[in-house]
Structure 1
């Protein structure tokens, strides 16, 4: 094996550490690895690059988590971003993946993580849920979807319908979708009270939409995703609610089915 690759990897590792944790780079190492400028020394050159690098990554995270930034306030969000970047430096050739680990990092680094669940801070639960929702939205912007292919209509048979590929089903402890859209509309929403929230987030024809759903509808969709069968999911709902299968199927056909087909919840099986 060539000795060039390990040396290059070591230099890359040093450079990354020097950018996100400048206290780790002593002056001798900086002068060894960085060329000075015409009028400034190597440390000053590195400092200029470091400030530009960190500002670029902060802006990238702010674009991926605008509502979380609003909730925290810009100064605190930037402090969190700097800590996150030190713990979870970019590991991809694209900044699209920069925020991939951010919700999990917030949960893992919450100051009350060792406290019993009933004694944890509500606002931290809210922030974790909000960042998780924003990450899901951002991911769906570029996820593999069904664009360019035909969509089913109301004439499709239930046996031919499956959930479309670019659809996320999620539960949150707070109404984070509402909060996000309030922020995006230019309003300044207050911290919302705890309230279970079930949502479907999907992209159709390159347009991403969030649909609030009831707990019953969430269960139906979760069962459908697991079984791949609308009939099986309807049978589960009948057993769960104690209603007859006929009543559940009538409600599905009359109240839900067409609206969800038109919204783009489903694609044709195998197509």
Structure 2
């Protein structure tokens, strides 16, 4: 008996959540009318699962839950990506979001995980840009970059940050001569590169700027004292933090970080140490990273 109930639940769940995105009319998800095409996708398989009632046949009854399921997930994605929704417009955003729900149906108990692959889906949906001019390339890439930035903001807000951690402060004027300083990146810090227009979009400023002399910026999105911030990084700072973020073995010794950053940014080690004496206290205060230990 219990097995039969479990099978029945599984079949109904499949009918509710397994509908093709092409059968969902995203413009009327909040309306009371039923989508005929949506009903047709399930009407052949539910007659033996549900009894008809005085008001609705089985397919229409199940379609209520089918549409509510998609509508709820769309609502979550709209809440997670408000800037992208405003940038694309609700209709186009819902189109991509509904396709995404079909391509990446939720498997986690937490709706926080629902949008984790949304930027990947947008990138996969993007046409081949090889033959596009620079302006058209930027136009197609910006929605992807907005999605990446908004996801990093969500992660920073939910991560275990450094607010409750007792931070270690090394001697910033003697970094090069310390025996060992080990660093780790904060879970509440994310990195990305983007077109400079992204900053205007995230801040809500619609400015017509000329970006002839710069086509890429590097950003750190972090949470410091429970406040989300987005900061522009110099390229050597980005390489420095990127190694911390990509490493599977943390903490990393400062001298190893400097050596790697020197190779990636074409700056000599002494110059990087000089920059670090000024930038490292800022990086710690903005919760990009933290010092694990210092051996002087």
Same fold (TM over 0.5): yes
Which of these residues, 48, 52, 59, is aligned with residue 75 of structure 2?
59
Distance verdict in 2 for CA 1:39–1:10, change over 3 Å: closer
- Structure 2 CA distance, aligned partners of 1:191 and 1:34? 59
Q: Answer whether contact 1:126 1:174 (CA < 8 A) is retained.
A: no
Instruction: Name the counterpart of 1:211.
Output: 231
Distance verdict in 2 for CA 1:237–1:78, change over 3 Å: closer
1:266 is displaced (CA, Å) by 2.6
Which of these residues, 130, 135, 138, is aligned with residue 116 of structure 1?
130
- Structure 2 CA distance, aligned partners of 1:252 and 1:210? 20
Q: Answer whether contact 1:141 1:203 (CA < 8 A) is retained.
A: yes
Instruction: Name the counterpart of 1:12.
Output: 13
Matched, 1:80 2:80: no
Q: Answer whether contact 1:61 1:81 (CA < 8 A) is retained.
A: yes
1:198 is displaced (CA, Å) by 0.6
Q: Answer whether contact 1:145 1:166 (CA < 8 A) is retained.
A: yes
Instruction: Name the counterpart of 1:128.
Output: 144
Which structure is higher in helix share?
Answer: 1
Instruction: Give the TM-score normalised by the residue count of structure 1.
Output: 0.79
- 1:109-188 aligned at under 5 Å gives the runs 109-110=125-126, 112-113=127-128, 116=130, 121-153=137-169, 155=171, 159-182=181-204, 188=206
Gaps of 5+ in 2: 24-37, 176-180
Which of these residues, 105, 108, 129, is aligned with residue 121 of structure 2?
105
Q: Answer whether contact 1:163 1:265 (CA < 8 A) is retained.
A: yes
Instruction: Give the TM-score normalised by the residue count of structure 2.
Output: 0.73
Q: Deviations over 1:49-70 (max 9, x none)?
A: 3333222221111111111111
Instruction: Name the counterpart of 1:197.
Output: 217
- Structure 2 CA distance, aligned partners of 1:240 and 1:37? 69
Q: Answer whether contact 1:175 1:196 (CA < 8 A) is retained.
A: no
Instruction: Name the counterpart of 1:232.
Output: 256
- Structure 1 CA distance, aligned partners of 2:101 and 2:75? 12
Q: Answer whether contact 1:174 1:192 (CA < 8 A) is retained.
A: no
SS for the counterpart of 2:68 is helix
Instruction: Name the counterpart of 2:84.
Output: 68
Counting matched residue pairs gives 263
Gaps of 5+ in 1: none
1:121 is displaced (CA, Å) by 4.0
Matched, 1:44 2:60: yes
SS for the counterpart of 2:107 is coil
1:196 is displaced (CA, Å) by 0.7
Q: Answer whether contact 1:18 1:24 (CA < 8 A) is retained.
A: no
- Structure 1 CA distance, aligned partners of 2:98 and 2:185? 38
SS for the counterpart of 1:39 is coil
Distance verdict in 2 for CA 1:51–1:195, change over 3 Å: same
Which of these residues, 255, 261, 281, is aligned with residue 258 of structure 1?
281
